[in-house]
Amino acid sequence: MKYLAIAACLLELAMHITSHAASPERVGLEGAWRLTQADRKLSLPATVPGVVQTDLMAAGKISNPFYRDNNKSSQWVKEVPWTYVRSFTVSAGFLKHRQIRLRCEGLDTLATIQVNGKLIAHTDNMFRTWEFDVRPLLHTGDNKIQVVFAPVAPYLEAHVNQAAFPGKPVETHGMGYLRKSPFQPGWDFAPELMTSGIWKKIGLIGWDEARLTDVGVIQDHRSPGRVGLRVEVAADTSAPVKAHVAVLFQGRKVTEADTPLAGGKSISKLTIARPHLWWPVGMGAQNLYDIQVELRDARGAVVDQKTQRFGLRTITWMAKTSKRPLTLAINGRPFFAKGSNWVPEDSLTTRANPARQRRLIDDAINANMNMMRLWGGGYYDGDAFYDEADKRGLLLWSEFKFADASYPAFDPAWMANVKAEAQDNVRRLRNHPSLVVWSGNNEVIGFVADKTDPNHMTHEDYNKLFHGLLADVVRDLSPDAVYTPGSPEAGDDHDWNVWHGSSGFESYRDVHGFMSEFGFQAFPQPRSVEQFTSHADRASVLSPVMEYHQRNWRDGNQLILSTAKRYYRNPKDFDSALWLSQIQQADGVLTGVEHWRRDWPNSTGSLVWQYNDCWPSISWSMMDYYGRPKALWYRIRHAYAPVMLSGQTDGAEGNAQLWVSSDIPKPLRGNVRWALMRMDGTTIEKGMQPVAIPAGTTSVRALSLAKKAAVAKEGAGALLLWSELSVPGQPISTAVLTFAKPKNMTLAAPNIRAKIAQAGQSYRVTLTATRPALFSWLDLAGMDARFSDNFVHLRPGAPVTITLTPAKKTDLAHVQKALQVRSLYDTYVPGAPATLTVTPKPDGTIVATADDADVDGDAALEIGAPNNIGTWADPKTSLLWTVKDVKPGAYAVSMNVACPTDEAGSKFVVDVAGQELPGVVPTTAGWTTYIDLPLGTVNVTSFGTIKITLKPTNMQHTRVMNLRSLTLTPVVSK
């Protein structure tokens, strides 16, 4: 018996030893390559994965394209072919495998591959995984691989018009034909930076009996208390194998099954009793199961295996109707989507990395987000990104990589290429519980017409691609997933009336729905700007280099400034302009965010454009390229809090309303305390109101206040309404409401004091103020730090403590010396007027320019020669000029205006010191052709300051006019 037992043990050991002997084997080809360019006689070391630009930078052949305007001087890189080459060793043992494939997980983009001098393939899609049989071409010892990347311009030009498809031209730049990141030729937040290279893993895969290629988990939640699983396994096989499928939860096996493969495929059906559901952050636990799949041969030996995590959950898409907006429900529970839009992590694609992705996802979770929309103009993110989203509970709306262009769905070969791309990526990503929506495209619906032209695809072709091919791929490979053809075709809303239409932030309150795009730009903070500019570049936010890092077509930097003129006093210096832009972005965007949360269920989502940056940019982002949060990130943490207090005022009527929005699944009770306060910190009136908060996603009005008498007595700009909501078990939520625009508020020096106490490697900074301090923020001179909060409002007698953690180890003395504390009050010169004033010229002539105007409404100051008031689409918008030191006398009034024929005819009134001059907008040759329009004569009766207003009385078409200036010329008596 003793010997039998030993023999049995040896047999079991032998079986165990041989069970993995035939597993697939990989020879990695990452690492050191050689990069050459024949025309320029360049030969330099290269790193794979990588792109040409990063290798050229490492070799000192091009300058950092992100610094100043260096990117201009490196555009030649995209115009020439590049060759990657390396040698590699293949062992005799590896060559014994029955199958050997070259596996290329990312080739960017037009690649020609040779192995040992033999042509393998031409590839034309950076989003696909390519595999090629190379076993016949390999030999023991040294082998050679070469990959040549062609420039894309000739390829694009060849596809603009094709004889095979008469009457089917594509866009003049042809990018629709090229399966490459759409943003790389340049976007309104991204530079023109066309990469090429082996941008993902590459290697040889060898196997014998079988290789596991795909595992798909399809869920059935129809039976209460259990979830059915359909596990689809695919493999390359050359011998009979079966799939052993096991499901584990927290390391404990809960179900398993064995299923033979037929034709390289198997379907195993399993049941999980008492399932632990996966929930997004804030709604429940992120429970994750492991699915283990082993391919076993006839002897039971494991020839390949894979373990992948997945979560049990349902997603319900409740389409937009005439009675309700688009609404999503997770595990049957409707929720408000709180989040943002993810753009490519880096224009130099291989700089994207899991560590930075984890930080950005952590920051999204810390900002109380539960959803991120992965924009369709970038590239498909790697597995690590989705793994982290699964762990943290961040829902993902993922778009196939099509954006703002027409696409050649009329070409069968192109469609086959796209189908393979979609299949690759759906297979790779379909088991992630975080991925809840597949969307076909971003805004391609705007490039559809009845007939193909260089800028449009037909409805038939659009439907063939986005309602047909992509929908079929998702349905076939992930039938329990949600697919929508595109955004905003999905019934979501892209609201760009504020940025692109120059509407005021208040206009957000007129919009309702699932808001998947909206936003406003802000500059990065000074430390970030210093990293991509020289000292001379920082003379003005309108300097050439600052403008170069602004990629929006609408004179974006000027638009930031001109919008700020509506709401704030002029910033006193360059740094103040940067900080003030962030305050404006935060306050303006939250006007919408808070409204839409209050508006539930008429509004169901808020995804701010945009979350991150792909290069150092002036953009809509709330996290800049260097990972430094803008004010918006800090403020949106409060607006997206599980329980949030917000409000709205009517300055003219002196009314205020306070609302409580909640995502908590159980009912709550709390108290709202409020105080009406003067700018010197004294309280006029205060009160407290209990509030009952229903369970689930909800919004309730806590109280309404009528304070017309107090506002009339003190002045709208002299009062603040402070309020806070206290709910047991939840952080205090505060809301500070104003009755006037910030520039019209009579803020006084807040006298902020900071007390610092060390807490390990962090420091607790307690702030106090003797007068109200709005948007108070901390900064450390000369060093980076993370702040637990920032851009907070300080109320006299109410300390606020912020924890800061320096990026590098330091000490209390250095922190005390480096700490800077500022507020909105510090962004302008004390005593600066709320509006600009105009001073007459020495001869008495008064020229009131567009730059001098106080715009009340939606028209925008636009860059020109000189600047002008344009985008004037609302007749309720008026202009005001304040003119000082005006001498008495008669003045001839004229305007310098432009308006094309199809927009002319709007009527207006100019009021000069109480004297009205009516006018009609004339016809000019175009929007940039200006003429002087005489209006008449007015009389100023006394020396001093006068007001001039211009108000439309009707708008004939879609725009009022473009206006450069209004001139008052003294009338000389004869």
Contacts of 391 (CB under 8 A, 6+ apart): 286, 288
Selection from 607, 506, 517, 462 nearest residue 188 by Cα: 517
Distance between CA atoms of 132 and 661, rounded to whole angstroms? 56
Residues pairing with 678 in the sheet: 719
**Which pLDDT does position 324 carry in this prediction?**
94
User: Letter for the amino acid at 742?
Assistant: P
**Which pLDDT does position 857 carry in this prediction?**
78
Distance between CA atoms of 360 and 354, rounded to whole angstroms? 10
Phi, psi of 839 (to 5 degrees): -115, 135
State both tokens at 732.
């205090």
**Which pLDDT does position 637 carry in this prediction?**
98
Local structure of residue 464 (DSSP, 8 states): I
Q: Are strands 878-886 and 868-870 parallel, antiparallel or unpaired?
A: unpaired
Residue 263: other Cβ atoms inside 10 A:
7
Residues pairing with 148 in the sheet: 83, 112
Q: Are strands 878-886 and 837-838 parallel, antiparallel or unpaired?
A: parallel
In the three-class reduction of DSSP (H, G, I as helix; E, B as strand; rest coil), residue 734 is classed as strand
Distance between CA atoms of 45 and 32, rounded to whole angstroms? 7
Distance between CA atoms of 289 and 287, rounded to whole angstroms? 7
**Which pLDDT does position 867 carry in this prediction?**
84
The answer to whether the beta carbons of residues 849 and 867 sit under 8 Å apart is yes
HEC sequence for 383-421: HHHHHHHHHHCCEEEEECCCECCCCCCCCHHHHHHHHHH
**Distance from the Cα of residue 105 to its chain's centroid:** 26
The answer to whether the beta carbons of residues 99 and 206 sit under 8 Å apart is yes
State both tokens at 443.
């805004």
> For the chain (length 974 residues), average pLDDT per consecutive 10?
44 42 88 97 98 98 98 97 98 96 98 98 98 98 98 91 87 81 96 98 97 97 96 96 97 97 96 98 97 96 97 97 96 97 97 95 98 97 97 98 95 97 98 98 95 92 98 96 96 94 91 98 98 98 96 89 92 98 98 98 98 98 98 98 97 94 96 96 96 95 94 95 96 96 95 97 98 98 96 97 96 97 96 88 96 82 78 89 95 97 96 96 96 96 95 94 96 80
Distance between CA atoms of 742 and 310, rounded to whole angstroms? 49
**Which pLDDT does position 13 carry in this prediction?**
41
Distance between CA atoms of 249 and 251, rounded to whole angstroms? 5
**Which pLDDT does position 831 carry in this prediction?**
87
| Dihedral angle computed from the Cα positions of residues 595, 598, 601 and 602, in that order, rounded to the nearest 10 degrees | -30
Distance between CA atoms of 529 and 616, rounded to whole angstroms? 8
The answer to whether the beta carbons of residues 910 and 949 sit under 8 Å apart is yes
Phi, psi of 803 (to 5 degrees): -95, 125
Distance between CA atoms of 704 and 723, rounded to whole angstroms? 12
**Which pLDDT does position 286 carry in this prediction?**
98
State both tokens at 221.
């939640």
- Distance (Å) of CA 677 to CA 136, 540, 680, 706, 747: 83, 37, 8, 15, 12
What b/e sequence results for 66-93 when a residue is b if at least 16 CB atoms lie within 10 Å of its CB, and e otherwise? bebbebeebeebbebebbbbbebebeee
Contacts of 256 (CB under 8 A, 6+ apart): 244, 245, 246, 247, 270
Contacts of 1 (CB under 8 A, 6+ apart): none
Question: How many CA atoms are closer than 13 Å to the CA of 48, on its beta-carbon side?
Answer: 27
Local structure of residue 229 (DSSP, 8 states): E
**Which pLDDT does position 17 carry in this prediction?**
40
Cut 0.75: pTM above it: yes
Selection from 349, 487, 461 nearest residue 409 by Cα: 461
Residue pLDDT, tens place only, 520-576: 999 999 999 999 999 999 999 999 999 999 999 878 999 999 899 889 999 999 999
- Distance (Å) of CA 683 to CA 689, 800, 930: 17, 19, 53
State both tokens at 71.
């990117």
Residue pLDDT, tens place only, 138-149: 999 999 999 999
Q: Are strands 99-104 and 130-133 parallel, antiparallel or unpaired?
A: antiparallel
Distance between CA atoms of 702 and 695, rounded to whole angstroms? 15
State both tokens at 11.
């047999």
Instruction: Categorise residue 81: left if φ over 0, alpha if ψ from -120 to 50, beta otherwise.
Output: beta
